[in-house]
Amino acid sequence: MQGPNTDMIRFINQLNAFQAKLMNWKRKVCCGNIAMFESLNNLLDSGNLALPAEIQDEIAKHLEHIHTEFKRYFPEIPREDLDLTINPFQCEVNMVPDDCQDEFLELKFYSAAKLSFGTMSIADFWPTMSACYPKVAKIALHKLLPFVTTYLCESGFSTLLTIKSKARNRLMAQDDLRCALSETKPRIEVLCPHERQLKSQ
């Protein structure tokens, strides 16, 4: 059954799986197994070469560093906070901090909020609740924030891949990226008035 919390649960599962893969890759690299790095593995096989020990150590350190950064950026979320964020209407009051419990109970038994929750994603639901239930919404939004920012990061990488192709690999894409990712629509006629004059001629 699909629900407003499905995307967040799927993302958390994928994140946990990826972190487990990183540790598994590190273990395998330390044993001299690089099958998961297909291009490197094929290169060594084609030349009948072995992976030098110093390169093996560098790869293992790099994988460990990536794992540490993921742990830092996505710290483990306490189960009670996750329950509140994903479905406040099934969460128990003792899972909420003392100073938020009264506000939480008001939200939990507010039928209009329950109806809204059934039709909206949690990323849309919690900002709409922040005006009436600021303490509870603040907890939920704090847990949602890392997942929202990953979308922006992925969007940036996707845009960069479109702009900076193999044919344009020397392009300095900073200004182009800023323009492409901005939510403000550029006024081309003001930025490039000479282009308009050329078209009119």
Please give the torsion angle defined by the CA atoms of residues 156, 161, 167 and 173, in that order, rounded to the nearest 10 degrees.
10
Lowest pLDDT segment from 1-10, 70-79, 101-110, 112-121: 1-10
Please give the torsion angle defined by the CA atoms of residues 95, 98, 99 and 101, in that order, rounded to the nearest 10 degrees.
50
Lowest pLDDT segment from 53-57, 84-88, 110-114: 84-88
CB of 70 closer than 8 Å to CB of 150 = no
Burial classification of residue 201, based on how many CB atoms lie within 10 Å of its CB (0-12 exposed, 13-18 middle, 19 or more buried): exposed
Which has more confidence, 98 or 2? 98
Per-residue pLDDT at 135 exceeds 50 = yes
Which has more confidence, 166 or 17? 17
- Alpha-carbon gap, residue 75 to 79, rounded angstroms: 12
| % of the chain beyond a pLDDT of 90 | 25
- Alpha-carbon gap, residue 183 to 102, rounded angstroms: 38
- Output the pLDDT for position 144: 76
Can you read off the two tokens belonging to residue 75? 């710290």
Where does the pLDDT of residue 151 fall: very low under 50, low under 70, confident under 90, or very high at 90 and above? low
- Alpha-carbon gap, residue 27 to 5, rounded angstroms: 34
